Amino acid sequence: MNKNILIVIGSPRCERSSSDIISNNLESKLRDSNMNCSKIYLEKMINKKTAIIEKVDKSDVIILISPIYENSLPGTVLEFLETINEDKNKLTNKDRKMFVITNSGFPEVEASKSAITTCSLFARDMNFKWLGGIGVTPGTLMENGELGKTYKKLDASLNLIAKDIRDDKEISKEAFELVSKTFISPLIYRFGGRILQNKTIKNIGKDCFFAKPFEI
């Protein structure tokens, strides 16, 4: 029987997000493996709790793809997890699995750890089988809606993840190892950030850039 995969996008930018670019790549691989995929954008659905529960109820595997802000999941993602947990008695009793992909604007791999841990604890409380999670750092270098050359290792990791989900296996160690290091040197990333910062200061002025309007 073909598995029903629910892809949950946690970014408030919806279709314009890095999360959605990653999801499109993974969804294509899952569909090529004859799995049924559906996708929801939490920014658009977070107030439609009944619809969310129905989507989760139909799923065999939940794949959450989300950015992280300040080492934490966005508020809409936390609300999504709370909604499911509060209404878990409405879900039919069957085996479900969960996998998480986070992406961050920063190059440090460690930034994703607390968010992935939060999801693993949620999966445990829901009695979902925890498949693990990967962090994409930095996740801001995708162009034209595609992963591109920078993310070759991520593409390879997603191939393995899709295959293991299809075959009902544990996610292979290689899938995690491929994304265990940042996709760009932190030094280069910071250097590029400094260039952009200086360009912005030049455009809007130093006083405006460093303004603290809420400072008392």
What are the extents of the domains in the chain? 4-183, 185-216
Phi, psi of 179, rounded to the nearest 5 degrees: -115, 20
Instruction: Give pLDDT tens digits for 127-178.
Output: 999 999 999 876 565 666 677 777 899 999 999 999 999 999 999 999 999 9
Per-residue H/E/C for 103-165: ECCCCCHHHHHHHHHHHHHHHHHHCCEEEEEEEECCCCCCECCECCHHHHHHHHHHHHHHHHH
At 193 the three-state DSSP class reads: helix
Model pTM score:
0.84
Per-residue H/E/C for 39-74: EEEHHHHCCCHHHHHHHHHHCCEEEEEEECECCECC
Quick one: what percent of the chain has pLDDT higher than 90? 66
- Report yes or no: 107 and 88 within 8 Å, Cβ to Cβ: no
Round to whole Å and give the CA distance between 181 and 152: 13
Per CATH, is 4-183 categorized as 1.10.238.10?
no
Residue ranges of the chain whose pLDDT lies below 70: 1, 106-109, 138-145, 183-193, 196, 213-216
